[in-house]
Amino acid sequence: MKIIDLLNKIANGEEVPKFWWNGCIHEVQKEYGTNKYSIFDTYCKKYKKIELEDLNEEIKFLEEEKKIPERVPNAEVFEVPKLNNMELSNIALTNKADIKLIKETLNEVLDYLKSKGDK
């Protein structure tokens, strides 16, 4: 997308996510109580002035971070038993099959959480 297209989106009242331009991350900020907008460079912490020759420069919108929901709907709730220090010191993972099963289970949980991160 070009800067001119970004300005059209702003003029049409569309929400604009943060974007990459000239090696920095920028965001559009509306001045409180006015109809004025500014382009803010989040790295240099300053406002950027758009010049006429900038209008055809390319920008790239950044994706918003996916948020993990606080609680997964319809998920089974179970309690993990609390172990004291003596019990923890007696736990040992010596069997490679046990370690592989734990890794597979953790990967499944992580994949599930990533798939639900958009909601």
Supply the pLDDT for residue 73.
Answer: 57
Mean pLDDT, 10 residues at a time, over the chain (119 residues)? 90 88 87 85 84 90 65 57 55 59 79 72
In terms of Cβ atoms closer than 10 Å to its own Cβ (0-12, 13-18, 19+), residue 48 is middle
The predicted structure's pLDDT at residue 5:
92
The reported pLDDT for the residue numbered 69 is 56
Q: Report d(CA 37, CA 68) in Å as an integer.
A: 31
Q: What is the pLDDT of residue 2?
A: 92
